[in-house]
Amino acid sequence: MLTVYNTLAREKQVFTPIEPGRVRMYVCGMTVYDLCHIGHARMLTAFDVIVRWLHASGYEVNYVRNITDIDDKIIKRSLEAGITPEALTERTIAEMHEDLAKLLLLPPTHEPRATQHVHGMIHIVEGLIAKGRAYPAANGDVYYAVREFPGYGKLSGKSIDDLRAGERVDVDPHKRDPLDFVLWKAAKPGEPQWDSPWGKGRPGWHIECSAMSEHHLGTHFDIHGGGEDLQFPHHENEIAQSEGCHDHTYVNYWLHNGFVRLQGEKMSKSLGNFFTIRDVLKHFDGEVVRFFLVRAHYRSPVNYSDELMRDAKAGLDRLYTALKLCPPTARAPIDWHSDYAQRFKAAMDDDFATSDAVAVLFELAAEVNRSGSAELAAQLKGLAGILGLLQRDPEAYLQGGPTAEGEISAEQVEALILARAEARKAKNFAESDRIRDELLKNGIVLEDSAQGSSWRRQ
């Protein structure tokens, strides 16, 4: 029985989809003005694993992950670069897809872009105005009247009075209340703009997700996810928009992942303390990055450092080494009645506890090493595959990975191994030992067997 932590309820709840056997799920994706960083990778990987487990549990999943391709930051960055917003977003989307493929993320069922759904946004705003929950202002903007929605604050646990007392809000003379937020922005010279009943303009940020989720999933669906920083105001405002327009529940389960932290601070572009995915992939294999993220529970904070990344690599190496020493004879179906599979399932059914599921993988790998069982090796590969891990040829993984400047290449390693074999054949053991030491100094570990010498990177 799958349980999930529902941010709205502030507790774990048994997951029951609206429609038996089918899950409709929306996750707030990227604002495409710059390269994705590791904090983004954490969010995207967390929900990729959730989708994979839902599939493994027998659900048909309609997974929608949006792209914000119109935004103040996009406009500012395109002006700085001297290119159109469309040119900037197309380039950034292509770069994002390249990075996420290296992290072994599955593509979503739908990946809508905000600019494709402006008509739907206008329709929701019209509905809110008709119900008295939004109002056009004299400056051409349209605002949501927060005090006209009684449930405002139920996701974040913030009351309107507390927000007024404790939150810094914009002072805008066109708003009826400082907490009101913009749904539609009047056009400014040189900015992208669309026709609307209130004049030319463009949508605010929050309204886009209400429109895109409604288009692909309907006005009431199962799961909405995103980073914990989106709880307020973005997801709170989504609820106000969608429930304010349709007068019924918007989402049943709200899931939020924890931050990636660098030296104790949240990693973010606004703080300037971030590493892009591409920065990290210069030094670590994409599957190592994925393993680093997956081995922590999605709701817990993750500390990032090179030392912790190296530790993740060592752990993934151990799992792949078990498969290398005892390769599965065939891709066998997972035996869900086995003790390992049962404990793996129990972990994943407990709010997607990947940290516990990974611990089961290590136990299984140790048993594979002890027993030499190809059947258990197949189970290891099958269970790990649910997390998007261990699906490559073990030797290719162990010998692969990014080659930093000055690092020894695979071709050089093979040449040295051949030279060492010739030295051993000539009984020149001093030369043989020198070559082994040279390889080890370059991070290459040799493993001799009756079949010859194999190698892996440390």
| Number of C-beta neighbours around residue 165 at 10 A | 8
Consult the annotation and say whether 269 binds a ligand.
yes
- The answer on whether 234 is annotated among ligand-binding residues is yes
State the DSSP string of 267-299: --TTTT---BHHHHHTTS-HHHHHHHHHTS-TT
Is 238 one of the annotated binding-site residues?
yes
What is the rounded distance in angstroms from the CA atom of residue 34 to the CA atom of residue 93?
A: 9
Contact between residue 395 and residue 414 where contact means Cβ atoms under 8 Å apart: no
**Would you state the structure tokens that stand for residue 252, as one six-digit string?**
């049943």
What one-character DSSP code corresponds to residue 349? H
Q: What are phi and psi of 202, to 5 degrees?
A: -145, 160
Residue 91's SS3 state is: helix
97 labeled binding residue: no
Find where tokens 């989809």 sit: 17
How far is 398 from 419, CA to CA, in rounded Å?
21
**H helices then E strands: how many in the chain?**
16, 15
SS3 category, 51: helix
Phi, psi of 2 (to 5 degrees): -80, 130
Which residue ranges make up the annotated binding site for Zn(2+)? 28, 209, 234, 238
Which residue ranges make up the annotated binding site? 28, 209, 234, 238, 269
Which residue ranges make up the annotated binding site for ATP? 269
